[in-house]
């Protein structure tokens, strides 16, 4: 995964869009982005993605349907979990970041608290 873009809010908190940049993911999937919060140089994933951050390695191969070509694509477990975490379109992430940047401080804090543990 790589950081696609970052914006710093007026309160010093950063919002980054991360991307699954595996060549197989780029070739076959459009839903491979996620907005993460940056607080004290630490990336914080959305609350609903924390369950995918830890898994036991088992060398299992997953079959997913490509949303670009409609082919069945076989991926390893690391890429599978990265795609579970990063499951949004780039446009959706950009709109989320822009929306959060427009909120006043109290509204922003409430919105971030709903989405992230920090």
Q: Tell me, rounded to whole angstroms, the distance of Cα 82 from its chain centroid.
A: 8
Domain boundaries, the chain: 2-115
Q: What is the pLDDT of residue 55?
A: 72
Task: Please give the C-alpha separations between residue 106 and each of 11, 31, 48, 80, 113, in angstroms, as whole numbers.
Answer: 11, 31, 22, 36, 11
Q: What is the pLDDT along the chain (118 residues), one digit of tens a residue?
A: 999 999 998 778 899 999 999 999 999 999 999 999 998 889 899 999 888 887 777 788 999 999 999 999 999 999 999 999 999 999 999 999 999 888 877 788 888 888 887 6
Q: What is the pLDDT of residue 118?
A: 63
- Which residues have a Cβ under 8 Å from the Cβ of 12 and sit 6 or more positions away? none
- In this prediction the pTM is 0.88
Between β-strands 2-8 and 42-44, what pairing exists: parallel, antiparallel or unpaired? unpaired
Q: What is the pLDDT of residue 102?
A: 85
Q: What is the pLDDT of residue 13?
A: 87
């Amino acid at each position: 995964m790589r950081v696609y873009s970052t914006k710093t809010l007026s309160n010093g908190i950063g919002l980054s869009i991360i991307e699954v940049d595996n060549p197989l993911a780029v070739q076959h999937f459009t839903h491979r982005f996620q907005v993460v919060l940056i607080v004290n140089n630490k990336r914080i994933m959305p609350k609903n993605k924390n369950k995918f951050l830890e898994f036991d390695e088992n060398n299992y191969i997953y079959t997913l349907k490509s949303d670009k070509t409609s082919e069945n694509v076989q991926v390893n477990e690391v890429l599978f979990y990265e795609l579970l975490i990063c499951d949004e379109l780039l446009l959706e992430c950009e709109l989320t970041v822009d929306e959060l940047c427009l909120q006043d401080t109290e509204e922003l804090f409430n919105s971030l608290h709903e989405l992230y543990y920090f």
